Structure 1
């Protein structure tokens, strides 16, 4: 991996995407792709199993989205991940305070961590640092 990870922000909320991208820029992370739902990212994952440069190092995944929610994305990701030749860290983000959502997120080993929105600059910094140290 280069000195800056490829980050995918999968979120239907434009304000959340804007804030996360701005905060990532403060951390010198400029390789960021934003998606309004999880359909296109799943297609990219499925079509680029071996092309690790096309795949993200970090996915910031919203839980509540149209078409496929974050948990449905994770279920689809699990299937694709068996063929992917890259370690992708997924961080789930949500405005939900539901303990059921937190517990369900913790049941997926594919989810590195679960954050209540808005994610702080400090937490983003920790995520980026963790990925860069691997």
Structure 2
């Protein structure tokens, strides 16, 4: 694993993205790409199955977004993931306190963990540490 993980933030909430990027900078993680919805990330994934340097180490995925929500992204990701030659950790983020959302997220083994926003600096540090240890 490289010393600078590539992290994708897929979230339509500008404040959430700002806070996550600020916290990641505190952890010396600057290789961050943000997306306002999940259509472009899915295209990048499907266009780069073999180009692991273009693929993220971590995806911080918002549940409630326009166009494709987090669960719809995960359905598409499951198909693409069969061809991807890189282990990508996905963390689902939501402002929802719904137990149904949490239960549904547990149905996706590709989701490493589920967080209610805002994700804390401590949790981001743990995610970064997990990636660096691989």
Gaps of 5+ in 2: none
Aligned to 1:117: 117
Is residue 10 of structure 2 the alignment partner of residue 24 of structure 1? no
Question: Which of structure 1's runs of 4+ aligned residues deviate more than 2 A?
Answer: none
SS at match of 1:92: strand
Is residue 52 of structure 2 the alignment partner of residue 52 of structure 1? yes
Instruction: Give the Cα separation in 1 of the matches to 2:117 and 2:106.
Output: 17
**TM-score normalized with structure 2 length:** 0.99
Is residue 101 of structure 2 the alignment partner of residue 87 of structure 1? no
- How many angstroms does 1:125 deviate by? 0.2
- How many angstroms does 1:75 deviate by? 0.2
Is residue 5 of structure 2 the alignment partner of residue 5 of structure 1? yes
**TM-score normalized with structure 1 length:** 0.99
Instruction: Give the Cα separation in 2 of the matches to 1:66 and 1:84.
Output: 25
RMSD after superposition: 0.4
Gaps of 5+ in 1: none
- How many angstroms does 1:67 deviate by? 0.2
Instruction: Give the Cα separation in 2 of the matches to 1:120 and 1:107.
Output: 24
- How many angstroms does 1:107 deviate by? 1.1
Aligned to 1:107: 107
Residues 66-105 of structure 1: per-residue CA shift (max 9 Å, x gap): 0000000000000000000000000000000000000100
Residues 5-63 of structure 1: per-residue CA shift (max 9 Å, x gap): 00000000000000000000000000000000000000000000000000000000000
